[in-house]
Chains A and B, each alone.
Chain A
């Protein structure tokens, strides 16, 4: 290790930012390809119906049109299975053939010389659809009269999970708190919509697929299968990516169409999604209806939980369909709940498919348990923070396995809650609330608390590839199977490699997001990157250092144990004047004459897969302070206090950024965003006027801090931070809104807590004197 102090734990500014701030960063649609044709998709404007005919004749005659593909001229693309755990009977025909199943379903693809020509020709494609009854909600899908979206499947239920069905978890309870709520459908809204550039002939006979994505290696098998090529002939690369948030972890059939068309036409094909297209074509998130009954003793000890969720998978089940599994695992949250019954069901509906979205299955669990706990606190007359504290899992019991099978690594939940309450000035806030209630103020104060635990590197994603190499010019490179798209991986991983090797961060490159440069990888999702690839880089760096020390010791005629690192190279401790530079070490590594006998010549490089053996479980506590205007129902966020524990912190600047973005997106669910459909399945929120993403004006300055509880599952002690803000903030804010009006007899308001919803709750409130 270096003789100077450690870089780890310091707020190091991002290596990525100069390119982003100067506009040098290139996204998919920025990539030059003058010969590229444009593909534009013709999408169904009916939510559900029999596809009677597709007439492309007029469109084919339009200027610039190169080809039009549809059901009977479909490029030979087989039906696509979005997620392997769902029955193949729900597979998606790439082009709708006998029926359309959502507004946005692909009916045809127009390839033309220019984007404008493709758009004009797409307008000229005539689609005839005989409408069928439409399923929008979970209740629609499960009703006895519901039409079957996939008649051959025999049911609209595409996935189910259940736990503890035999015992009554509420037995012995003095009090049962109950809630029925929704976790509404959301859109990820990455700043950069979806897109791709498919370039045939590179490599020879194959294709290079530039896509905007979080996990290029996971797209390669799907492309390989439909193109009938060997894996090495299909190179998948992501350039700079303008946000993912989960939806860009999905494999999109649009990629398959564009790639197949490029191969057939023998020229590059480009797709650039518009925002209104993005709002129907990119997978959505959440969309759960949920119920919980929580049994407690009169002194506030939980005896059991009975919970059920119904998720909408959309028209073609994707990753979202199986997320109730994660909800089931995390539904007990941070609490010692001896008995649990859980049932999760996923149905198909005539809506955009649902995938992963920041939190993916865990926010729903936290929202449910944190909401029903507040209902219980209200019922028992116990302060919500105190009720939580009475039921926390014992920190001495870790590692532990919860009733629902969560293998929690480490946690000290009272620590983060106490820190959050102290930072908020909880007692003073309660006093101010009491004052306003007593005075009958027209603007009331709400204080919401949430304590959460989530799972990062979930679903078996706890292993990852990493390699580190020192080159002849003295620089180093790191290759990883994660795929940075805004998180700052270059900065984070370079800190790790620099810490071990001593090479300055700005002389360490990151190689990722390219199947031709990285042999395998699972991409960036589930807040997994630092704890997996970061540790892979850590391990590989250490192995490189071992070899480098052996080489240096040989040249300096010393013991490897006495060799220390510096920015420029290695030397014997105490003798910095005689340094073996990294340039010399890299060259020597391949030259048998410069190596000790026990070393084989070869690059100064190490690669390997890091295996964390299991997921990690970040936790924390949030306190939300809101004002509710009783006259209008308007909710204003006044403060948001977040104490998030993501294990040992590598770079507090990156952590803070994730907390802020996460809290903003969590607030968006609590108060603002909701993907809506009318009863005919027409999407109503297809632009950023109607889909109300909050901006800085709507949010307070966040008060974010951390506690640090190492994970024992990896040498860096790291847990994920990407989704914590989203998971912790939403229930705190929803609870705060309801807390502001709970003295009027209001026990629940569904999300998003819009002004009209709050106003309506106030109109119906038993304790409210009508104004």
Chain B
């Protein structure tokens, strides 16, 4: 459990991090909370040549309301997000999801940006971002650009981020009063979800699914069925339409499909109850 050798640089600003990244090529990695990257390195499944440590960039840790959206700095730790007054009021789903991740140690180290940039389909925050119609601000030597969550996740642990880009901010449209629900099904509280469902109901309904394919995905089939007037029970039957859920020690694809149907149904019912 010792990583292969690597170089280490600590960046004190976003610009410095971008500079270090763009000078290092494909093999460099950003280090924030380290809760996804370091285990991979210890198992030697990842061997970056350079780690650029951005954990000390205080200016990237914030949650604030800004007009019609909530702006969240990418280095905001899960524990801080879960307790943020702004998040609890304007995007309670996101605060709730952040409070369910892993265990207290993980929540005090892991960051929202790290979780999103890692692009793990088993992580909760990406699915919540899909349900919330969030977008991500990324910075590079070419300036800043904004990527919709729906366009961000490309393949297994693969995202739209270029190797010299830094995710700096998560933008979540405020939706106080919207109905929402997060259904996380696992065997142990500390585990990744076997299947998770994040739903936001605010006029229309958006649903993000955890661990139902190679990327965080939306339950498009359910959203469309609801749009066409289907009942909750009918719509939930479409939970895994077009999806190819994985097999692992906890669940077969068949069981995941079943769970998705049950959990989408529960999420829609709870979201309807919560809607102001």
Does B258 belong to the interface (CB within 8 Å)? yes
Interface members, chain A 313-336 (any B CB < 8 Å)? none
Q: Contacting A756 at CB < 8 Å: which of B2, B5, B251, B262?
A: B251
Q: Mark A736-764, 1 if CB is under 8 A from B, else 0.
A: 00000000000000000011100110000
Instruction: Collect the chain A residues with CB atoms within 8 Å of residue B44's CB.
Output: 123
Q: How far is the CA of A274 from the CA of B3 in the complex (A)?
A: 13
Report the stretch among A25-33, A93-101, A425-433, A687-695 that lies at the interface. Answer: A687-695
User: In the complex, A347→B170 CA distance in Å?
Assistant: 57
Residue on A nearest B262 in the bound complex, by CB: A631
Which of B64-72, B86-94, B181-189 lies at the binding interface? B181-189
Contact B1 A698 (CB under 8 A): no
B:8-52 near A, CB below 8 Å: 43-44
A residues 115-153 touching B (CB-CB < 8 Å): 115-116, 119-120, 123
Does B6 lie at the interface of the complex (its beta carbon under 8 Å from any beta carbon of A)? no
With an 8 A cutoff between CB atoms, is B252 at the interface? yes
Q: Does B171 contact A (CB under 8 A)?
A: no
Least CB distance from B181 to A in Å reads 16
Q: In the complex the two chains form, is B2's CB within 8 Å of A115's CB?
A: yes
Chain A residues, CB < 8 A from B4: 120
- Cα–Cα, bound, A120→B4 (Å): 8
Q: A689-B191, A695-B189 known; A632 and B259 CB under 8 Å?
A: yes
- Best-surrounded residue of A274, A685, A754 (most CB of chain B within 10 A): A754
Chain A residues with Cβ under 8 A from B191's Cβ? Answer: 689, 692
A692 CA / B250 CA spacing, docked (Å): 10
Contact across chains for B188 and A695 when beta carbons are under 8 A apart: yes
- Interchain CB contact under 8 A, A698 and B188: yes
8 Å CB contact of A276 from B1, B252, B259, B262: B1
Q: Is the CB of A634 within 8 A of B185?
A: yes
| Contact A116 B185, CB 8 Å, known A276-B43, A632-B262, A689-B191 | no
Q: Distance in Å from the Cβ of A143 to the closest Cβ of chain B?
A: 26
Q: Contact: B190 with A695, CB < 8 Å?
A: yes
A695 to B185, CA, bound (A): 16
The reply to whether B189 and A756 contact each other, CB–CB distance below 8 Å, is no
- The residues in A between 250 and 298 inclusive whose CB is less than 8 angstroms from any CB of B are 274-276
Pick from A632, A676, A690, A694: contact of B185, CB below 8 A.
A632
Given A276-B1, A685-B249, A756-B255, decide whether A697 and B189 contact each other with a Cβ distance below 8 A: yes
Chain B, 246-263, CB within 8 A of any chain A CB:
249-252, 255, 258-259, 262
Instruction: Check if B190 sits within 8 Å of A275, measured CB to CB.
Output: no
Closest chain B residue, CB of each to CB of A442: B262
**Cα separation A754 to B190 with both chains bound (whole Å):** 16
> When chains A and B are docked, how far (Å) is the Cα of A274 from the Cα of B39?
13
Distance (whole angstroms) from the CB of B251 to the closest CB of chain A: 6
Q: Does A163 sit at the interface, judged by CB under 8 A?
A: no
> Which of B2, B185, B190, B258 sits near A697, CB closer than 8 Å?
B190
Q: Please determine whether A754 and B187 come into contact, CB atoms closer than 8 angstroms.
A: yes
Least CB distance from B247 to A in Å reads 11
Interface string of A673-691 (1 = CB under 8 A from B): 0001000000011000110
Taking CB atoms, residues of chain B closer than 8 Å to A692 are: 187-188, 191
Q: In the bound complex, do residue A119 and residue B2 qualify as a contact, i.e. CB atoms below 8 Å apart? A: yes
- In the complex, what residues of B have CB within 8 A of residue A756's CB? 250-252, 255
How far is A672 from B262 in the complex, measured between Cα atoms in Å?
Answer: 22
**A residues less than 8 Å from B5 (CB atoms):** 120
Chain B residues closer than 8 Å to A676, beta-carbon distance: 249
Closest CB in chain A relative to B239 CB, distance in Å: 13
Could you tell me if B249 and A698 are in contact, using CB atoms closer than 8 angstroms?
A: no
Chain B residue numbers with a CB within 8 Å of A684 are 249
Interface string of B221-262 (1 = CB under 8 A from A): 000000000000000000000000000011110010011001
Q: How far is the CA of A115 from the CA of B185 in the complex (A)?
A: 40
Q: Are B249 and A690 in contact, with the CB atoms below 8 A?
A: yes
Closest B residue by C-beta to A671? B187
B255 close to A759 (CB less than 8 A): yes
Question: For the complex, what is the distance from the CA of A97 to the CA of B189, rounded to whole Å?
Answer: 44
Q: Knowing A115-B2, A759-B258 touch, does A672 contact B250 (C-beta < 8 A)? A: no
**A754-B191 Cα distance, complex, nearest whole Å:** 14
Complex alpha-carbon distance, A684 and B252, angstroms: 15
CB nearest to B187 among chain A residues: A692
Residues in B with CB closer than 8 Å to A274 are: 1
Chain B 165-205 per-residue mask, 1 if CB under 8 angstroms from chain A, else 0: 00000000000000000000101111100100000000000
Chain B residues with CB under 8 A of A631: 262
Give the nearest-CB partner of B265 in chain A: A631
Docked-complex contact A754 and B189, CB < 8 angstroms: no
> Which B residues lie within 8 Å of A755 (CB)?
185, 187, 194, 251, 255
Interface residues in A598-632 by Cβ distance below 8 A to B read: 631-632
Q: Which residues of B contact A690 (CB under 8 A)?
A: 249
Cα A631 to Cα B261 in complex, Å, equals 10
CA distance A695 to B188 in the complex (A): 7
Assembled-state Cα–Cα distance A274/B103 (Å): 22
Task: Kindly provide the distance from the CB of A770 to the nearest chain B CB, expressed in whole angstroms.
Answer: 11
A695 to B258, CA, bound (A): 26
Minimum C-beta distance from B205 to chain A (A): 21
The answer to whether B188 touches A754, judged by C-beta atoms less than 8 angstroms apart, is: no
| CB interface residues, A 330-344, toward B, < 8 Å | none
Measured CB to CB, the nearest residue on chain B to A276 is B1
Residues of A within 8 A of B189 (CB): 695, 697-698
What residue of chain A has the Cβ atom nearest to residue B259's Cβ?
A632
The distance from the CB of B240 to the nearest CB of chain A, in whole angstroms, is 15
Contact between B2 and A116, CB atoms less than 8 A apart:
yes
Shortest C-beta distance, B33 to chain A (Å), equals 17
A335, chain B: closest CB distance, angstroms: 34
User: What residues on B are CB-neighbors of A672 within 8 Å?
Assistant: 187-188
* Neighbouring B residues of A698 by C-beta, 8 Å: 187-189
Q: List the B side residues contacting A634 at CB < 8 Å.
A: 185
Which residues of chain A are within 8 angstroms of B262 by Cβ–Cβ distance? 631-632
B185 to chain A: which residues have CB within 8 Å? 632, 634, 755
Q: Which residues of B contact A275 (CB under 8 A)?
A: 1
> Within the assembled complex, what's the spacing in Å between the Cα atoms of A288 and B91?
51
Nearest chain B CB to A546 CB, angstrom units:
56
Complex alpha-carbon distance, A115 and B3, angstroms? 12
Give the CA-CA distance A408 to B96 in the complex, in Å.
55
Closest residue of chain B to A694, judged by CB?
Answer: B188
- In the bound complex, CA of A593 to CA of B96 (Å): 80
Contacts of B2 in A (CB 8 A): 115-116, 119-120
Kindly list chain A residues whose C-beta atoms are within 8 Å of the C-beta of B43.
Answer: 276
Minimum CB–CB distance for A175 against chain B, Å: 35
The residues in B between 83 and 130 inclusive whose CB is less than 8 angstroms from any CB of A are: 103
A181 CB → nearest B CB, Å: 21
A754 adjacent to B1 (CB under 8 Å): no
Tell me, in angstroms, the Cα distance from A276 to B2 when the chains sit together: 12
| A115-B2, A274-B1, A754-B250 as given contacts; A697 in contact with B188, CB under 8 Å | yes
CB distance from A660 to the nearest CB of B (A): 18
In the bound complex, CA of A21 to CA of B194 (Å): 36
- The residue on A at minimum CB distance from B4 is A120
**A699 CB to nearest chain B CB (Å):** 10
Which residues of the partner chain B approach A120 to less than 8 Å between Cβ atoms?
A: 2, 4-5
7 contacts between A and B (CB under 8 A): A120-B4, A685-B249, A689-B191, A692-B187, A695-B103, A695-B190, A697-B188
Apart from A694-B188, A754-B250, A755-B187, what 7 extra A-B contacts exist at CB < 8 Å?
A: A116-B2, A275-B1, A698-B187, A755-B185, A756-B250, A756-B255, A759-B258
The 9 A-B residue pairs with the shortest CB-CB distance in the complex, in nearest-first order: A697-B189, A274-B1, A756-B255, A119-B2, A631-B262, A116-B2, A756-B251, A698-B188, A632-B262
